[in-house]
Structure 1
């Protein structure tokens, strides 16, 4: 079977890899390059700590285990000169200031009920886990299952592995559909048609536009986020650390600016500081306000950051769905079209299992978990639109 994958971000690369490993002939098309958009403008999170019980938590738990094996395979299998994924099973620490402890502990209790490790820590233990935290922090929960990859490198490694299995990669823009009767049989590009038995839309924040081009409808909207990056320094942040209000910001449907504190170190010695969420279309203007809010909140959590020099800042767009679940599976209107998009800020973490679900939908391979909650035809996504 020949499959066209649109998009070479983490989701597209993971789908290409899963399809190629299952024996499909794969062609990946991206207008800009590998990890050229959202997957190079994020923190590489592999989180279970921010997931409330439900379908996304189930997907995240499965994906966390899949990442452990996938990262080991990719790192061991890389060709000379190919970078590693920088997979770090460093765990996360979620903290609360005065007044937030009860809500944090209740959320952690609900996660323990579905098998997520969420260990309450005393003030003394919290100081040992993160000695540079502000003394204002009132409580914390340790999530040892949280992890991180370098997102651009991990995406490159997945697609490199798929290409060694025979996948083809083309830098080109999809401009329309190729039909065989009433079924999608490929895509049109400026260089000519790319034919296939199936097409998988992995275009991230642009997946709604691609769906329109191909005669379908998918409610994916861009949600802008900003990140600050410090100059390299000796390590002073040892886990992914974030304020408990991050969970509320992730699950919010508000289009207005929301910021919450997320801080973590990288192997290169830089510190990544986030995060913000706002729906402003694809605009990159007026980013000072979110960056200023992020900086102010981060220094409250880690006071030493007030005297730290910034290296750069950047913004990216996350693919947002109104019902807060990714759309993974067959399109309900266009035969031969499949979607894997709408993961918002969790795309890196959910990528391996998303690829497995796409291989299941396209090729009939075993599903890693029940695909029904994520189908593009689900009532909650149609109703939210």
Structure 2
């Protein structure tokens, strides 16, 4: 092991610099006077955050799920952040890549149209008014779509998207008056505990970083293996079954002659998103789901997804999957047939990310039983942006009951960053 060269102390140490970790840091810095260290084995947004399309949607979410209230709260806080940016005289499109595109969940058959109607009924019962568009109505909004006469879509005009990488850069501007420090490209190697069992410090490849109040693990799909390695000598049993689920995103830069006005997703995306993992899926990288998701970002780039695959922690580009994603997009957008993916490849970027998958479909948020001062904020597969919550002003909520060794029931109107901030500050 490399010689430890630095020893520093902070109130809270956060492991992971994706959108969850950065937002938790921002929550503490805006809502309290605590000091923060944030650690990452690479750079900010090197994982799933930097490889996503930036959707902050409700149209594809289930109002009956335990994540629904959290998603609504998070969406509202993103809106409040946008309002705050505008009040500062800044353009949220430039600062955050924010676009109020609305969301379109599209179907191509009468059966899928019936499914969309049922989804709209559920949304309406939950107080969210979305519209069912016929194929003709849909073509007025998105002329590039070709769904056939049975085509239809559920439309939620208030949904929006952001640029995840740009937003991460923005929220790093904490203005924390010396209360914040970054330790990037420093893999965590160990937890240091006191004689009473409390977590005292995090050891990295270069530093020992002590904590007064808490260590928060927000390392995405690496949180499970990282936490298990950290507690293996602590006589603590921890069941944190996070698996990496690999995804590709095709970015066609400055794409001319093709316009999308909204964010779009095929109805089948929902089934692929919620597909359960078993031993076969978890070990067979050939079991791949591909569904259409498309939007255009602030720079006019066409973003095409998406794929889902259990392939361990390898994140190499698979050209066969990229080709399948392109072919899937052609089924929905006939105009793309005028272009060859091979010809476009010189202007393409392929992003690969590993989503932190939890079979329960619920993230792990809360303290680890038996390890005082250790907290988890992970397992938000593909939903880190829409479940994270960005504070605009200090918002402190009363603490709620913990369930098991960590929270997986989210029937509350707190966002992840608020929840962690609330728990740590209430306990300490």
Q: What is the TM-score of this pair, normalised by structure 2?
A: 0.80
Counterpart for residue 27 of structure 2: 18
1:141 counterpart = 2:171: no
Aligned residues: 370
Counterpart for residue 201 of structure 2: 186
Instruction: Specify whether residues 9 and 114 from structure 1 end up closer, same or farther in structure 2 by C-alpha distance, changes over 3 A only.
Output: same
Q: Offset at 1:29?
A: 0.8
Q: Is the 8 A contact 1:74 1:157 kept in 2?
A: no
- Which residue, 76, 84, 99 being the options, matches 1:88? 99
- Which residue, 148, 167, 171 being the options, matches 1:158? 171
Q: Is the 8 A contact 2:249 2:304 kept in 1?
A: yes
Kindly provide the CA deviation profile for residues 265-299 of structure 1, in whole angstroms up to 9, marking residues without a partner as x. 11111110001111111123572332222111111
Instruction: Specify whether residues 162 and 9 from structure 1 end up closer, same or farther in structure 2 by C-alpha distance, changes over 3 A only.
Output: farther
1:132 counterpart = 2:154: no
Counterpart for residue 66 of structure 1: 77
Instruction: Specify whether residues 166 and 330 from structure 1 end up closer, same or farther in structure 2 by C-alpha distance, changes over 3 A only.
Output: same
Q: Offset at 1:373?
A: 8.0
Instruction: Specify whether residues 64 and 165 from structure 1 end up closer, same or farther in structure 2 by C-alpha distance, changes over 3 A only.
Output: farther
User: Using the alignment, how far apart are the partners of 1:379 and 1:57 within structure 2?
Assistant: 11
Counterpart for residue 45 of structure 2: 35
Q: What is the TM-score of this pair, normalised by structure 1?
A: 0.88
User: Using the alignment, how far apart are the partners of 1:336 and 1:48 within structure 2?
Assistant: 34
> SS at 2:96's partner residue?
coil
Counterpart for residue 274 of structure 1: 305
Q: Offset at 1:163?
A: 4.6
- Which deviates more, 92-101 or 128-137? 128-137
Unaligned stretches of 5+ in structure 2?
1-9, 232-237, 282-286, 411-428
- Which deviates more, 324-333 or 196-205? 324-333
Unaligned stretches of 5+ in structure 1?
381-385
> SS at 1:3's partner residue?
strand
> SS at 2:384's partner residue?
helix
User: Using the alignment, how far apart are the partners of 1:337 and 1:207 within structure 2?
Assistant: 12
- Which residue, 50, 55, 58 being the options, matches 2:66? 55
User: Using the alignment, how far apart are the partners of 2:176 and 2:405 within structure 1?
Assistant: 28
Counterpart for residue 220 of structure 1: 242
Counterpart for residue 320 of structure 1: 357
User: Using the alignment, how far apart are the partners of 2:35 and 2:243 within structure 1?
Assistant: 30
- Which deviates more, 156-165 or 175-184? 156-165
User: Using the alignment, how far apart are the partners of 1:46 and 1:120 within structure 2?
Assistant: 20
Counterpart for residue 17 of structure 2: 8
Counterpart for residue 416 of structure 2: none
Kindly provide the CA deviation profile for residues 180-211 of structure 1, in whole angstroms up to 9, marking residues without a partner as x. 22111120112221011200001011011221
User: Using the alignment, how far apart are the partners of 2:295 and 2:402 within structure 1?
Assistant: 34
Instruction: Specify whether residues 291 and 12 from structure 1 end up closer, same or farther in structure 2 by C-alpha distance, changes over 3 A only.
Output: same
Q: Offset at 1:74?
A: 4.8
Q: Which protein is bigger by CA-based radius of gyration? A: 2
Q: Offset at 1:320?
A: 0.6
- Which deviates more, 262-271 or 95-104? 95-104
> SS at 2:383's partner residue?
helix
